Amino acid sequence: MKKFSDQCRSSCDERIMFRRIAWLVHFIWIGLLLAAVLFNRYQLKDEVLALAKQSAELSFTHIKNISRWNLSSEGIYTPVVTSGPDQVVTKDGMRLQRMVTSQILGHIQSSSITTGVRSRIIGLDPINSDNLPDEWEKTQLEASTDTVELIEAQTTLEGEPYYRVIHPLQSRPECLTCHEVTRENQNFSMGAFSVLVPLQPIKETLYRKELWFSVNMLILWFFGFFGIEITTRTILKRIKLRDKAREDLTRANNVYDALVATTHAIINQLPQQKLFEKVCEVAVQYGGFKLAWVGIVNKESKLVESVARSGSMGRYVQEITVSVDSDSEYGGGPTSIAIRENRPVIVKNFIQELSGTPWYEPAMRAGIRSSAAFPIVFQNTVIGAFKLYADKTDYFSERLIELLKQMSFDISFALDNLDKQQQFLEAQKLNQTLIDALPYPALLARFSDQRVVIANRKALEMGVVVGEVNSCCALPEKNTSDDLQVKERQRKDGQWDMICWCPVDDDNQGDLYLHFAVDITKRKKQENEINDIANRDHLTGLSNRRYFNEKLERRLRADAEKKTDIFSLLLIDLNGFKLVNDTHGHLVGDQLLIKIGQRLQGVLREGDTLCRWGGDEFVIMLPGSDHDQAQYLSVRLQNTFSQPFKLGQLDIESSCSIGAVTYPQDGTNAEQLLKAVDQQMYAAKRVFYQ
């Protein structure tokens, strides 16, 4: 927060600095324009004199040129009445007088008097009285009889300012024709050329120029002023936008810190009340808000009651009343709308948007200028709101709102998670009680990581540790239904267990399950004994007829499903066995059957099945053997009878008749095959007796 305050202070100082720079530029601009106006005015004074000099010079040059032309040409003749020098008379009797330069100048001056510039030839002793000098001219001529330098001055005549200049004139031979002067005195002063230039018209013209220049400077100042002002405002606006973006980013970062702190509180599984208090605290501490509070709806009164708050404006919460009833005068505020409509409600300008409401006066006293309300959801139902207040208008940017939405969502998630956690703890306590009641090892485990969650006393005595991975948690297969699953499994030490498991949670997709094992070694031993009695011949120890029939049926069913290999059947019947019984007794006959079974078993391959069919008959199943292989084995079996069987002191000779059939050439079912092999055996017996 200190960093944020320093940034705000720095931004404010920067705006003040730019405003001061703008005013300094304004003053410099005004100073430059004023300097330009003053300099122009100063220049105008010199320009008045320069223009007057220029006008006088032009007038002198003009008259000088006229004089030269008049002296070097026939000149101009005008009609006269009286006689005089340089006259001519025309054929019709008209007398013409040649005009001298001064006369020409007089005529030109009289015709151009409106120009304001007056010029004439003056002299101390002029021929024409109009060329007599005035007092100033006379003074200047008398003072400059020995010089030909130009004389100029600014004088006042009849109250008007004038620029006056005198150009002394020297006599020439051409001039003597008009003057009664001897040639010996050719260097006498003929007089001077005098020019009188009024300054007032020039000043008026230049005044208008000065006025126009000043107007242009004023217009230039106007555009410069607005240019500087617009540029300054643009820069200040950009600074303001930059500062606002920086403030928004800082606020967003602060709220993000608050969001992280809220997440830590959720991870620590704080109780609901502690969680609300922590959320309000971190919102004020990290988010920079002046007030944060959590309100829960009272279902009976429909009022939003504060359950936790933090900040310097806590008195505001005590002064206001908020209802979720839309018909109530207290049910139209941002908090009420957020709860009823389950959406965030942002008030950017509290003064304008909530003027005239019950919350306006308390907000003014507290200094609230903007606020935000976010709904709190528990089990898909809005139960309250999370409220935040700031002392600045337009405080909540879009990014800030999104982070606060996430914060309120995390609060709602935490409430649901706390409820589920509470239910889980209660269920776990109940499960522990139920499991402890079982008389055999039992536990609750997770299928995904084979980790023990709960174990009863029997399991703990076996070394099972709660929370650790245990191989006994590995299931033979994952559940595909909610029913109890049972599998039997033999341990490495030969003992047998019946493993039972079933899922106990509805929301975890069967990952949590009840697992227990029952020792069924004794039962399996009993089952094996029963199966042995049912499927084994008690005299010879060989499989009996019942076992053989079941195996034959399984073999035929397997062939019907996936076409297994061929197999052959051999039926062996002892020759003269009744004579042994009659001669030596049934005990010797039984011993002979045992010996014959052992000798036959010694000839067979692994995988072949030898069974006592009944009485003195034996049957053999030969998987993968064709007819020729069956005949070959029949010969080998008969050869085993070539040696007598030693039974104590007796050597008993015996022989056998063998019938052989092959599947499927001789039959496709058990009945056909057994009938065919029986026929083959009796055919062989008839051959033996013949």
State the pLDDT at residue 373: 93
- CATH code for the structural domain at 438-524: 3.30.450.20
- Residue with more model confidence, 182 or 251: 251
CB-CB contact of 338 with 345 (8 Å)? yes
The DSSP secondary-structure symbol of 187 reads: T
Cα distance between residue 625 and residue 663, in whole Å: 9
The one-letter code for the residue type at 515 is: H
State the pLDDT at residue 344: 92
State the pLDDT at residue 679: 93
In this predicted structure, the answer to whether residue 568 has a pLDDT above a threshold of 90 is yes
Alpha helices in 144-271 (DSSP H): 199-267
CB-CB contact of 510 with 490 (8 Å)? no
- Residue with more model confidence, 84 or 168: 168
* Paired tokens of 471: 């191989």
CB-CB contact of 370 with 392 (8 Å)? yes
CB-CB contact of 684 with 631 (8 Å)? no
In this predicted structure, the answer to whether residue 57 has a pLDDT above a threshold of 70 is yes
**Architecture (CATH level 2) of domain 536-689:** 2-Layer Sandwich (3.30)
State the pLDDT at residue 182: 39
Mean pLDDT calculated for residue range 438-450: 71
In this predicted structure, the answer to whether residue 121 has a pLDDT above a threshold of 60 is yes
CB-CB contact of 435 with 443 (8 Å)? yes
Mean pLDDT calculated for residue range 254-274: 69
Contacts of 322 (CB under 8 A, 6+ apart): 295, 303, 304, 330, 333, 335, 336
- CA dihedral angle for residue 576, residue 581, residue 586, residue 589, rounded to 10 degrees: -30
State the pLDDT at residue 471: 64
The one-letter code for the residue type at 388 is: L
State the pLDDT at residue 184: 44
pLDDT, tens only, 198-214? 888 887 888 888 788 88
Cα distance between residue 350 and residue 322, in whole Å: 16
Cα distance between residue 547 and residue 427, in whole Å: 51
Mean pLDDT calculated for residue range 448-472: 72
State the pLDDT at residue 658: 93
Cα distance between residue 548 and residue 542, in whole Å: 10
The one-letter code for the residue type at 245 is: A
Mean pLDDT calculated for residue range 330-357: 89
**Which three-class secondary structure state does DSSP give residue 133?**
coil
Closest CA relative to residue 193, chosen from 258, 281, 120: 120
CB-CB contact of 349 with 394 (8 Å)? yes
Closest CA relative to residue 48, chosen from 154, 125, 133: 154
Give me the residue label for tokens 């008379």. 89
Mean pLDDT calculated for residue range 428-455: 70
Cα distance between residue 400 and residue 661, in whole Å: 90
pLDDT, tens only, 269-322? 677 888 888 888 888 887 778 899 999 999 888 899 988 988 888 788 888 899
Cα distance between residue 313 and residue 366, in whole Å: 6
In this predicted structure, the answer to whether residue 1 has a pLDDT above a threshold of 50 is no
Contacts of 17 (CB under 8 A, 6+ apart): none
In this predicted structure, the answer to whether residue 7 has a pLDDT above a threshold of 60 is no
Cα distance between residue 156 and residue 687, in whole Å: 182
Report the mean per-residue pLDDT for the chain.
Answer: 79
State the pLDDT at residue 472: 64
Strand partners, 443: 455, 515
Quick one: pLDDT band at residue 101, thresholds 50, 70, 90? low
In this predicted structure, the answer to whether residue 457 has a pLDDT above a threshold of 90 is no
Quick one: pLDDT band at residue 656, thresholds 50, 70, 90? very high
In this predicted structure, the answer to whether residue 171 has a pLDDT above a threshold of 70 is no
In this predicted structure, the answer to whether residue 186 has a pLDDT above a threshold of 50 is no
Quick one: pLDDT band at residue 683, thresholds 50, 70, 90? very high
Give me the residue label for tokens 């704080």. 270
Query: E strands along 588-641, which residues?
Result: 609-614, 617-623
Give me the residue label for tokens 């308390």. 362
pLDDT, tens only, 391-419? 888 888 887 788 788 888 888 887 777 77
The one-letter code for the residue type at 105 is: L
Quick one: pLDDT band at residue 125, thresholds 50, 70, 90? confident
Exactly one of 410, 497, 573, 616 is catalytic; name it. Answer: 616
Topology agreement, domain 438-524 and domain 536-689:
no
Give me the residue label for tokens 């948690």. 473
In this predicted structure, the answer to whether residue 226 has a pLDDT above a threshold of 50 is yes
Quick one: pLDDT band at residue 620, thresholds 50, 70, 90? very high
* Paired tokens of 419: 């409820």
CB-CB contact of 18 with 10 (8 Å)? no
CB-CB contact of 192 with 78 (8 Å)? no
The DSSP secondary-structure symbol of 91 reads: T
* Paired tokens of 655: 């022989």
Strand partners, 513: 445, 503
Percent of the chain past pLDDT 70, that is, above it, reads 76
- Residue with more model confidence, 109 or 128: 128
What is each CA distance from 637 to 632, 640, 642, 643, in whole angstroms?
A: 9, 5, 10, 12
Quick one: pLDDT band at residue 570, thresholds 50, 70, 90? very high
Fold of the domain built from segment(s) 268-421: Beta-Lactamase (3.30.450)
State the pLDDT at residue 482: 59
State the pLDDT at residue 351: 83
CA atoms within 13 Å, Cβ hemisphere of 572: 28
State the pLDDT at residue 303: 92
Cα distance between residue 319 and residue 316, in whole Å: 5
In this predicted structure, the answer to whether residue 510 has a pLDDT above a threshold of 60 is no
CB-CB contact of 313 with 389 (8 Å)? yes
CA-CA-CA-CA torsion sign (152, 155, 161, 162): negative
Closest CA relative to residue 98, chosen from 82, 86, 115, 113: 86
**Which three-class secondary structure state does DSSP give residue 27?**
helix
Domain ranges of the chain: 2-203, 268-421, 438-524, 536-689
Quick one: pLDDT band at residue 539, thresholds 50, 70, 90? confident
Q: Is 616 a catalytic residue?
A: yes
ω into 362 cis (within 30 of 0): no
Which of 81-95, 162-176, 207-221 has the highest average model confidence (pLDDT)?
207-221
In this predicted structure, the answer to whether residue 663 has a pLDDT above a threshold of 60 is yes
- CA dihedral angle for residue 305, residue 309, residue 313, residue 314, rounded to 10 degrees: 60
Which of 59-63, 86-90, 143-147, 197-201 has the highest average model confidence (pLDDT)?
197-201
Percent of the chain past pLDDT 90, that is, above it, reads 14
Give me the residue label for tokens 């019942």. 546
Alpha helices in 563-620 (DSSP H): 577-584, 586-603
CB-CB contact of 653 with 671 (8 Å)? no
pLDDT, tens only, 577-613? 888 888 889 899 999 899 999 999 989 988 899 999 8
